[in-house]
Amino acid sequence: MKSLIRTIAAVTLAGVLLSGCGGNRSEDPKAKYIFLFIGDGMGVSQVSLTESYMAYKKGNLGGERLTFSSFPYFGMASTYSANRVITCSSAAGTAISCGAKANNESLGISPDGEKLKSITYHLKEDGYRIGIISNAPVNHATPAAFYANSASRYDYYELTRTIPSTGFEFFAGSGFSAYYGNEGKDEDSESYLERNGYQVCFGEEEYLNRPADCRNLVLCQKHHKGQNAKDYLIDGMKKEGVYSLPELLERGMEFIGDSEPFFIMCEGGTIDWAAHENKTMPLINLIREFDAAVAMAYEFYLSHPDETLIVVTADHDTGGVSLGQGIEWLDDRLEWHKIDSAWTAAGGANTLGYEENKALNDAAFIGWTTKQHTGNDVPVYAIGKGAERFCGKMDNTEIKGKILGE
């Protein structure tokens, strides 16, 4: 009897340990519909900053949540790369996509030069339709980590030329870095892709007038047609004729459909760029825009709750922001109104110079420790089928296996 009780106790404990925060693994570990959102540079402090601002706008000290920070499962991921404590986006993207560490600046390649396999190729083999979406260029580090193998993240033209061999259904981004290869001597990216079976649409008019039999598409911003995608729209303000991240995702979900399983990676790439410049309000606007894209996936989840997994994470923290710099906890609070009114006066646009921006951050008591990436852990939020796997401390290389249920 005693041993039976011990056995039951052991089994119960094992069950509790295996189920992590309390969820249960179902028999088929993979969700039919998978969304992976990556806020580039979006550390946990950037999320707190955004929620603090949202609370300020309601006249409160706190208590606001984004869609994704309301998800029931939460963990933290370490982000170091194979050769540095502080990762870059290509090594971190590779870790998330391929489940293995890479050196900074390499994409889908191990430190030994071995080609690594992205989760997208595993899922493609299993009949999933694949969408890769970013508001950064289509061939930028994070999106490219989900389709390319390259010793350098900066071989932009070659990364673009990888796209046709993927067979993936949908790509979206601001455009192409290195639109013309070899300083304009090589074929332009649009012609190359279209000659190899991919329709390239710049803006809504081209998208709506795409051929009816189009099965593989690259969607870009209208103003980047025929040129390098080099302007960085980092203020997070909606502009006429420019797709927002939710709009890019909406086109992707429409194009891919839900008759077959799908995997969609959706990156808020310009969050990182705002953080590199320590621009507080653009950063907040971009995280809220990113959250609006997550909210679209959440809507989809509500109609397919047993078949959908949504994971939201970051590749690394950028800027090392803190809520409070040089203030005493007994007598002061963040001066949100100072930063808010100054950005409002500037029309919300990203026009403030370095000194002006720094003075605003200081006046509002918002501290930035660097203009580069940090080695801070990043948050991982999840909801849906298999979401319970994303609890507790993990390494970024574990995310792939957790999505696949391995």
The residues in 82-111 that bind Zn ion, with binding defined as CB under 5 A, are none
Q: Least distance in Å: CB of 229 to Zn ion?
A: 16
Q: Pick from 65, 365, 366, 124: which is nearest to 263 by CA?
A: 124
Q: Nearest approach, Cβ of 380 to Zn ion (angstroms)? A: 19
Torsion of CA 137, 258, 287, 39, to 10 degrees: -60
Nearest Cα to Cα of residue 48 among 269, 360, 376, 277: 376
Question: 336-345 vs 354-363: helix axis angle to the nearest 10?
Answer: 150
Tell whether residue 317 is a contact of Zn ion (CB under 5 A): no
CA-angle at 171, arms to 173 and 209, nearest 5°: 90
Out of 51, 169, 188, 272, the only residue in the binding site for Zn ion (CB under 5 A) is: 272
- Give the whole-angstrom CA distance, residue 388 versus residue 25: 8
| Site size for Zn ion (CB under 5 A) | 1
- Minimum CB–partner distance for residue 373 and Zn ion (Å): 6
48 neighbors 277 (Cβ within 8 angstroms): no
Span near Zn ion by CB under 5 A; candidates 114-122, 174-182, 237-245, 272-280: 272-280
Q: Which stretch binds Zn ion (CB under 5 A): 29-37, 236-244, 269-277, 332-340?
A: 269-277
Q: Tell me which residue has its CB nearest to Zn ion.
A: 272
If the CB atoms of residues 48 and 104 are measured against Zn ion, the closer one turns out to be 104
Looking at beta carbons only, is 251 or 373 nearer to Zn ion? 373
3-class SS of residue 207: helix
Shortest CB 23 distance to Zn ion, Å? 33
> How near is the Cβ of 372 to Zn ion at its closest, in Å?
8
375 contacts 91 by C-beta, under 8 angstroms? no
Helix 354-363 and helix 280-303, axial crossing angle in degrees, nearest 10: 70
Of 19 and 104, which has the nearer Cβ to Zn ion?
A: 104
Question: Of residues 165-224, which lie at the interface with Zn ion (CB under 5 A)?
Answer: none
**By CB under 5 A, what part of segment 284-313 binds Zn ion?**
none
- State the nearest-atom distance from the C-beta of 263 to Zn ion, in Å: 24
Residue 282 identity (one-letter amino acid): P
**Of 235 and 317, which CB lies nearer to Zn ion in the complex structure?**
317
Specify the DSSP element, H or E, that contains 76: strand 73-78
Quickly tell me which residue has 């455009």 as its tokens. 175
Residue 232 CB, shortest distance to Zn ion, in Å, is: 12
Stretch in the footprint of Zn ion (CB under 5 A) among 68-76, 210-218, 266-274, 349-357:
266-274
Fill in the amino acid letter for 121.
Y
Compute how many other C-beta atoms are within 10 angstroms of the C-beta atom of residue 2. 6
- Distance CA(152)–CA(104), nearest Å, equals 9
Residue 166 or 357: which CB sits closer to Zn ion? 357
Q: Contact positions toward Zn ion, by CB under 5 A? A: 272
